[in-house]
């Protein structure tokens, strides 16, 4: 369904809801008015009645007295001469009706005969015919017993006129007795007369001789009333009483404003009007809304066209001008923004292609850089050297280099440019080129550094600086001359003691200030010793907890890998750093160079065995048998190696098998053989931390009867191996065993 159709429908529904609410409200209001009116009418009647009845009792008794006196004014009543009374009454009535109907009371017996008549009444506001009549019957000695009660019970008093007060309708028409003559009978009587009174008691219509009209008096009467008052049947209650005076029939009529149902019909008609009006307005609204909406939404067609064009990539679509600041305006504005954005995106696509080209060139730059920086390991019987570099970004700021000179010297250098990326790399290659050129030109280290420093400062627009360590090793006597421009000191694995830092010269990094005098120092190296040059990317490698790898651990691993060739040794260290950092991205380049003297053609082989928790230990024996050549140098120790491993594996299984979550864990065994005379075995498992070094040594001097059965395994493993170590990191137990030939 289209948006505008939906809008129109919802508006119309909304209007209808509103209209029905208003109509309901109107009905409610009308009913309220009606009720008020009704109550008003009844209330005023009630009020009047109460006023009348509460009036002066003296007055009433005087009235009663008067009545009782007046009754004798009709002597015929006393004598019971019906004929005479009737004649008199007719005479009286004949004149009274024509003149003033308010000053008489006639009392009829149940047969319609006049039993009392008084014309001498003062009809005041507190005149109450029923009271008077009641009083009359109570006081009159000739009244039939119980007639007063009968008057009240049957409401048989009828008024000859209305009493009015302040123009409010009251009641009573004509005094008389209630008679039960059927109307039909009445209507057939001769000289039928009909009297109509208005609300104030005035005769408004009078007709005699109803018979001649061939009408039922009541129907006729009603018809007449309607004609006169132009009101419907429900408006009034019409009480009619047929009266017979001698041979004359009268109808006394009481018209009372009824229960206000006139308002019902009025409401009904106003409701119909409202509904018709409602339908009309609804139609009007429907048409006008659809017109307005169609007009208002026509700019959206443009928007749709624009969007379709943009989808196809056509950004040359013409925009319409729409100046109104409304929703449509916003949509058009958004479409225009989208068009601009699309143009931007198209431009970006072009830029992206350019970027890809740049990246390709960067990769070329990187390979050029690595060709500058990295070199193949040199393996001579008397010395070996190897380097390693891993850049944190595509192009790094670290460098190293080593080369042999014609006069049997080896030059090693390592450096770290402040900053990374292409600018750092360019600065780095400048440094390397200058330095190398000077060193190759047989300048001393000190001179080379100084000249390089000055040259770098000349071109250093970006305020880079570079730390550099350079050394020249005389391969004839293994004396190393070195100089340090702000670089971290290299480590030496000395024969006599542990690893130590090379004594530093403590000079400024290159590129900071001109004309620095770089001092030189010398150090003699001995066979079996090795030297590690590195950048702080190694020691400052971090793990997920932001802990640094640190010098201490580097020192340990530099020491423990001393039997390895420099290339393998570097790999061994980097592997440990990777294990430590657990594949965390590093922010700094990592670079290292190892130089070792007189490693006699070392053989490095590495074997790995992984075992399941439920694998048989025979796998281990089988593995050793299978790699007999590998283990051949350690033949004499093979039983000890196997016992130590068995103890450790059994121990791990004992711990691991206890918990279901470790059931599928593996135990890794790595065997490394160095120089055919050292075997380093590393066991790694991921079961819960267990440090065998913390296990108490069994008491070996305990007497047989008291000797404990357990705790021997770890003791055996520690005792049988030459070196035994344990670390726990990255949720892994790592036990290292060393065996010698």
Partner 1 sequence: MEIELSEEKDFMIFKITGRLDTTTSDQLEREIKDHMTDKTKNVILDFENLNYISSAGLRVVLMLAKTINEKKGKFFLTALTPDVYQVFEISGFLNILKVKSSTKEVLDT
- 617, 657, 666, 738: residue in contact with partner 1 (rule CB under 8 A): 617
Q: Which stretch binds partner 1 (CB under 8 A): 185-193, 217-225, 500-508, 697-705?
A: 697-705
Residues 628-667 that bind partner 1 (CB under 8 A): 639-640, 642-643, 646-647, 650
Using the minimum distance from each CB to partner 1, give the nearer residue, 245 or 717: 717
Q: Answer yes or no whether residue 22 interacts with partner 1 by CB under 8 A.
A: no
Q: Answer yes or no whether residue 186 interacts with partner 1 by CB under 8 A.
A: no
Give the bridge partners for 168, in sequence order. Answer: 165
Q: Answer yes or no whether residue 696 interacts with partner 1 by CB under 8 A.
A: no
Instruction: State the Cα torsion 137-141-142-144 to the nearest 10°.
Output: 50
Report in angstroms how near the CB of residue 664 gets to partner 1 at its nearest: 21
Report in angstroms how near the CB of residue 596 gets to partner 1 at its nearest: 34
Instruction: State the Cα torsion 613-614-617-622 to the nearest 10°.
Output: -100
- 506, 707, 722, 740: residue in contact with partner 1 (rule CB under 8 A): 707
Q: Answer yes or no whether residue 181 interacts with partner 1 by CB under 8 A.
A: no
Report in angstroms how near the CB of residue 703 gets to partner 1 at its nearest: 7
Q: Which stretch binds partner 1 (CB under 8 A): 325-333, 479-487, 560-568, 696-704?
A: 696-704
- 698, 727, 729, 738: residue in contact with partner 1 (rule CB under 8 A): 698
Using the minimum distance from each CB to partner 1, give the nearer residue, 531 or 714: 714
Q: Which of 480, 478, 494, 493 is nearest to 382 (CA)?
A: 478
Question: Tokens 């009006």 — which residue?
Answer: 277
520 touches 503 (CB < 8 A) = no
Report in angstroms how near the CB of residue 698 gets to partner 1 at its nearest: 7
Retrieve residue 9's tokens: 């429908």
Beta strands 248-257 and 193-197 are parallel
Ramachandran assignment for 528, one of left (phi > 0), alpha (psi -120 to 50 degrees), beta (any other): left
Q: Which stretch binds partner 1 (CB under 8 A): 279-287, 293-301, 683-691, 706-714?
A: 706-714
Give the number of C-alpha atoms closer than 13 A to the C-alpha of residue 41, restricted to the C-beta side: 14
Q: Answer yes or no whether residue 715 interacts with partner 1 by CB under 8 A.
A: yes
Using the minimum distance from each CB to partner 1, give the nearer residue, 295 or 625: 625
- 54, 167, 463, 618: residue in contact with partner 1 (rule CB under 8 A): 618
Q: Answer yes or no whether residue 615 interacts with partner 1 by CB under 8 A.
A: no
Q: Answer yes or no whether residue 713 interacts with partner 1 by CB under 8 A.
A: yes
Task: Give the integer Cα–Cα distance in Å for 180 and 670.
Answer: 132
Report in angstroms how near the CB of residue 594 gets to partner 1 at its nearest: 37
Angle formed by the axes of helices 421-440 and 445-459, nearest 10°: 140
Report in angstroms how near the CB of residue 649 gets to partner 1 at its nearest: 9
Give the bridge partners for 385, in sequence order. Answer: 378, 595
Strand, coil or helix: 481: strand
Q: Which of 266, 262, 256 is nearest to 42 (CA)?
A: 256
Using the minimum distance from each CB to partner 1, give the nearer residue, 412 or 720: 720
- 230, 323, 496, 703: residue in contact with partner 1 (rule CB under 8 A): 703
Q: Which of 570, 575, 560, 524 is nearest to 402 (CA)?
A: 570
Q: Answer yes or no whether residue 192 interacts with partner 1 by CB under 8 A.
A: no
Q: Output the DSSP codes for 65-97.
A: HHHHHHGGG-HHHHHT-HHHHHHHHHHHHHHHT
Report in angstroms how near the CB of residue 683 gets to partner 1 at its nearest: 16
For the window 429-458, what string marks contact with partner 1 as x by the rule CB under 8 A? ------------------------------
Q: Answer yes or no whether residue 700 interacts with partner 1 by CB under 8 A.
A: yes
Task: Give the integer Cα–Cα distance in Å for 410 and 379.
Answer: 12
Classify burial at 10, counting beta carbons within 10 Å of its beta carbon; exposed 0-12, middle 13-18, buried 19 or more: exposed
Task: Give the integer Cα–Cα distance in Å for 80 and 435.
Answer: 165
Using the minimum distance from each CB to partner 1, give the nearer residue, 431 or 651: 651
Using the minimum distance from each CB to partner 1, give the nearer residue, 248 or 718: 718
Q: Which stretch binds partner 1 (CB under 8 A): 144-152, 405-413, 533-541, 612-620?
A: 612-620
- 433, 616, 731, 740: residue in contact with partner 1 (rule CB under 8 A): 616
Backbone angles phi, psi at 566, to 5 degrees: -50, -40
Using the minimum distance from each CB to partner 1, give the nearer residue, 640 or 734: 640
Using the minimum distance from each CB to partner 1, give the nearer residue, 141 or 710: 710
Report in angstroms how near the CB of residue 608 gets to partner 1 at its nearest: 22
Using the minimum distance from each CB to partner 1, give the nearer residue, 325 or 694: 694
Report in angstroms how near the CB of residue 612 gets to partner 1 at its nearest: 15
- 209, 234, 719, 722: residue in contact with partner 1 (rule CB under 8 A): 719
Give the total of residues touching partner 1 (CB under 8 A).
Answer: 26
Task: Give the integer Cα–Cα distance in Å for 250 and 269.
Answer: 38
Using the minimum distance from each CB to partner 1, give the nearer residue, 449 or 720: 720
* Element (DSSP H or E) covering residue 336: helix 327-373
Using the minimum distance from each CB to partner 1, give the nearer residue, 146 or 711: 711
Residues contacting residue 265 through CB under 8 Å, at least 6 positions apart: 232, 234
Using the minimum distance from each CB to partner 1, give the nearer residue, 50 or 702: 702
Using the minimum distance from each CB to partner 1, give the nearer residue, 311 or 704: 704
121 touches 163 (CB < 8 A) = no
Report in angstroms how near the CB of residue 727 gets to partner 1 at its nearest: 24
Q: CA angle 425-428-431, nearest 5°?
A: 155
Q: Answer yes or no whether residue 716 interacts with partner 1 by CB under 8 A.
A: yes
Report in angstroms how near the CB of residue 657 gets to partner 1 at its nearest: 13
Task: Give the integer Cα–Cα distance in Å for 409 and 407.
Answer: 6
568 touches 504 (CB < 8 A) = no
Cβ atoms within 10 A of the Cβ of 660, count? 7
Cβ atoms within 10 A of the Cβ of 405, count? 14
Report in angstroms how near the CB of residue 687 gets to partner 1 at its nearest: 17
Using the minimum distance from each CB to partner 1, give the nearer residue, 520 or 615: 615
Strand, coil or helix: 518: coil
Residues contacting residue 432 through CB under 8 Å, at least 6 positions apart: 372, 373, 399, 401, 413, 415
Using the minimum distance from each CB to partner 1, give the nearer residue, 151 or 624: 624
Q: Answer yes or no whether residue 712 interacts with partner 1 by CB under 8 A.
A: yes
Report in angstroms how near the CB of residue 681 gets to partner 1 at its nearest: 16
Residues contacting residue 492 through CB under 8 Å, at least 6 positions apart: 499, 500, 501, 502, 523, 525, 529, 530, 531, 532
Q: Answer yes or no whether residue 601 interacts with partner 1 by CB under 8 A.
A: no
Task: Give the integer Cα–Cα distance in Å for 536 and 590.
Answer: 7
Q: Answer yes or no whether residue 720 interacts with partner 1 by CB under 8 A.
A: yes
Q: Answer yes or no whether residue 705 interacts with partner 1 by CB under 8 A.
A: yes
Residues 276-305 that bind partner 1 (CB under 8 A): none
Q: Answer yes or no whether residue 613 interacts with partner 1 by CB under 8 A.
A: no
* Element (DSSP H or E) covering residue 265: helix 261-311
Q: Output the DSSP codes for 2-59.
A: -HHHHHHHHHHHHHHHHHHHHHHHHHHHHHHHHHHHHHHHHHHHHHHHHHHHTS-HHH
Where on the chain is the footprint of partner 1 (CB under 8 A)? 616-618, 639-640, 642-643, 646-647, 650, 698, 700-705, 707, 709-710, 712-713, 715-716, 719-720
């Amino acid at each position: 369904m289209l948006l505008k159709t939906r809008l129109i429908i919802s508006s119309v529904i909304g209007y209808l809801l509103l209209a029905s609410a208003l109509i309901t409200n109107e009905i409610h209001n009308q009913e309220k008015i009606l009720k008020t009116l009704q109550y008003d009418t009844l209330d005023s009647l009630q009020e009047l009645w109460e006023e009348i009845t509460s009036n002066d009792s003296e007055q009433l008794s005087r009235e009663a007295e008067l009545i009782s006196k007046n009754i004798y004014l009709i002597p015929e009543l006393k004598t019971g001469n019906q004929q005479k009374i009737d004649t008199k009454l007719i005479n009286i009535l004949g004149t009274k009706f024509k003149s003033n109907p308010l000053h008489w009371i006639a009392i009829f017996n149940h047969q319609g005969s006049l039993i009392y008549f008084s014309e001498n009444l003062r009809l005041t506001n507190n005149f109450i015919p029923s009271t008077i009549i009641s009083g009359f019957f109570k006081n009159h000695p000739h009244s039939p017993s119980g007639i007063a009660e009968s008057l009240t019970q049957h409401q048989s008093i009828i008024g000859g006129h209305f009493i009015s007060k302040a123009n409010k309708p009251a009641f009573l028409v004509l005094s008389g007795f209630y008679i039960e003559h059927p109307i039909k009978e009445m209507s057939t009587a001769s000289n039928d007369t009909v009297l109509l009174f208005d609300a104030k008691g005035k005769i408004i219509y009078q007709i005699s001789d109803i018979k001649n009209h061939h009408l039922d008096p009541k129907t006729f009467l009603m018809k007449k009333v309607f004609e006169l008052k132009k009101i419907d049947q429900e408006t009034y209650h019409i009480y009619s009483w047929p009266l017979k005076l001698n041979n004359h029939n009268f109808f006394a009529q009481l018209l009372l404003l009824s229960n206000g149902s006139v308002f019902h019909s009025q409401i009904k008609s106003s409701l119909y009007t409202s509904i018709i009006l409602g339908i009309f307005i609804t139609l009007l609204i429907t048409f006008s809304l659809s017109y307005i909406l169609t007009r208002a939404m026509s700019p959206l067609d443009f928007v749709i066209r624009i969007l379709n064009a943009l989808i196809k990539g056509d950004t040359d679509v013409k925009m319409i001008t729409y100046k109104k600041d409304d929703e449509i305006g916003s949509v058009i504005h958004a479409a225009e923004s989208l068009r601009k954005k699309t143009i931007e995106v198209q431009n970006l696509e072009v830029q992206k292609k350019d970027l890809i080209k740049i990246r390709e060139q960067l990769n070329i730059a990187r390979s050029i850089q690595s060709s500058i920086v990295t070199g193949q390991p040199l393996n001579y019987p008397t010395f070996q050297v190897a380097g390693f570099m891993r850049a944190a970004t595509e192009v790094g700021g670290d460098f190293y280099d080593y080369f042999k000179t014609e006069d049997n010297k080896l030059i090693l250098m390592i450096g770290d440019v402040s900053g990374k990326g292409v600018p750092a790399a360019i600065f780095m290659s400048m440094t390397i080129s200058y330095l190398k050129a000077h060193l190759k030109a047989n300048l001393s280290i000190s001179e080379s550094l100084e000249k390089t420093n000055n040259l770098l400062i000349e071109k250093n627009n970006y305020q880079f600086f570079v730390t550099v360590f350079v050394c020249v090793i005389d391969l004839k006597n293994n004396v190393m001359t070195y100089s340090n421009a702000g670089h971290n000191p290299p480590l030496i694995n000395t024969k006599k003691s542990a690893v130590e830092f090379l004594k530093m010269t403590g000079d400024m990094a290159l590129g900071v200030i001109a004309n620095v005098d770089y001092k030189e120092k010398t150090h003699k190296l001995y066979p079996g010793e090795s030297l590690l040059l590195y950048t702080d990317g190694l020691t400052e490698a971090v793990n997920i907890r932001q802990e640094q790898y640190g010098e201490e651990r580097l020192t340990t691993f530099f020491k423990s890998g001393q039997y390895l060739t420099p290339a393998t040794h570097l790999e061994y260290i980097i592997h440990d750093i990777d294990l430590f950092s657990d594949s965390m991205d590093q922010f700094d380049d990592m670079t290292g160079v190892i130089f070792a003297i007189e490693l006699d053609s070392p053989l490095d082989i590495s074997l790995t065995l992984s075992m399941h928790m439920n694998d048989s230990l025979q796998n281990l024996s089988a593995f050793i048998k299978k790699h007999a050549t590998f283990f051949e140098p350690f033949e004499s120790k093979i039983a000890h190696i196997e016992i130590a491993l068995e103890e450790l594996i059994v121990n791990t299984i004992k711990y691991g098998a206890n918990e279901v979550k470790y059931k599928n864990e593996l135990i890794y065994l790595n065997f490394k053989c160095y120089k055919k005379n050292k075997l380093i075995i590393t066991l790694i498992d991921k079961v819960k931390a267990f440090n065998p070094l913390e296990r108490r040594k069994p008491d070996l001097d305990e007497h047989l009867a008291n000797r404990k059965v357990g705790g021997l395994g770890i003791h055996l493993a520690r005792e049988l191996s030459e070196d035994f170590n344990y670390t726990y990191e990255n949720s892994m137990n790592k036990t290292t065993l060393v065996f010698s030939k």
